[in-house]
Amino acid sequence: MIGIHPIHRRLAALTFKSDIQPLSEAEQIELFQCLKVNAQIVYQLDKYKSLSFLAHETGDFDWEMDLCARIEAIENRMK
């Protein structure tokens, strides 16, 4: 199952609403804030996954497990 973060649900709602009517100034600000949070989530996941691969390749099991726990924590928030 693919998890959906609450930010992604709100982004979808605002996007669909903007197809029907213009967003209010508050909604435009919220949309931008959601985009920033989404970018942070993507950046963190990509960073930890890249570092996890590096840890695996260098045989640093403890570091790899720490990074995997961080990835899992982010992904668990998407359920």
Residue 38 pLDDT: 92
- pTM, two decimals, is 0.81
Question: Using one digit for the tens of pLDDT, what is the confidence trace for 16-37?
Answer: 999 999 999 999 999 999 999 9
Residue 39 is encoded by which pair of tokens?
């970018």
* Helix or strand (DSSP H, E) at 38: helix 25-58
Question: Using one digit for the tens of pLDDT, what is the confidence trace for 57-73?
Answer: 999 999 999 999 999 99
Predicted confidence band of residue 75 (pLDDT cuts 50, 70, 90): confident
Is the pLDDT confidence value at 77 over 90? no
In contact, 40 and 47? CB cutoff 8 Å:
no
Query: Domain residue spans in the chain?
Result: 6-76
Residue 1 pLDDT: 52
**How confident is the prediction for the chain on average, in pLDDT?**
93
For residue 5, report the phi and psi dihedrals to the nearest 5 degrees: -75, 145
